[in-house]
Amino acid sequence: MKLFANIFFMFFVAFTSIQHCYADCENLQDTCPTVSPKKQTIFINGLPCKNPANITAQDFKTSELSNPGSKDIFGASLKFVTASEFPGLNTLGLSIGRTDMDGDGLVNFHYHPRATEIIFVTKGVLLAGFVDTKNQVFQEFLNVGDVFVFPKGLFHFILNNGFQDATAISVFNSQNPGLVSITATTFDNTVESLENLKKRLASLSEGHDVANLTMPGLESIFS
């Protein structure tokens, strides 16, 4: 009986620990900057830590977001910085990003399977929105200084409906948020189709139902 109780206790501890680690696990020390091994022989759920004796202030600074990335066919660039590029983020459950958009640019429908995203507009006027699991659209126009949140795992988009370039900074509550997008190759990417897509997104209003969240349903927005 005592053996059974011990086994049950060990199973309970292991199970609850796994449950708590479904999201990024809590860090067990003050800092744990990433170290990139020359040859990875052990694969873990995360990144290995630097020798504490070798940690410097430089590990907690990055200039990765000082310049925009390359624009895609939608006139937008998304640049992400995770613990792989920014060592000081390791074990903190955070990553950051920068989005730059042309005057009529679009960040196409996508979602992050492991993170909620908060965007902060630093330039321009944007239309940001997401679709929930009840197929309802929530969207708002954002000005400089405004903040908008995209809940974890929900399809969302950003449209620059203004007359100037726009920039937004993103923060994610995971050091590896992931990105699943409806790629440009999925749909007709002619100029006419892209303009039609932008008009359809701009015409959506809160409470409007998208057909469904399956690929054919989302395709109805793009067609």
Determine whether the annotation assigns residue 112 to a binding site. Answer: yes
Torsion, Cα of 216, 217, 222, 223 (10° steps)? 70
In degrees, to the nearest 5, what angle opens at C-alpha 26 toward C-alphas 156 and 91? 75
Determine whether the annotation assigns residue 117 to a binding site. Answer: yes
Helices (runs of H) and strands (runs of E) counted in the chain: 3, 10
Torsion, Cα of 19, 115, 50, 39 (10° steps)? 90
Of the candidates 171, 167, 180, 156, which has an alpha carbon nearest to the alpha carbon of residue 82? 171
Query: Which backbone phi and psi does 87 adopt, to 5 degrees?
Result: -50, -35
Contact (Cβ atoms closer than 8 angstroms) between residue 123 and residue 162: no
CA pair distance 149, 181, nearest whole angstrom: 18
3-state secondary structure at position 157:
strand
Determine whether the annotation assigns residue 64 to a binding site. Answer: no
Beginning with the edge strand found earlier in the chain, give each strand of the sheet holding 147-150 in spatial order.
Answer: 76-81, 95-101, 166-172, 117-123, 147-150
Determine whether the annotation assigns residue 20 to a binding site. Answer: no
* Residue ranges of the binding site: 110, 112, 117, 156
Annotated binding site for Mn(2+): 110, 112, 117, 156
Binding residues for oxalate: 112, 117
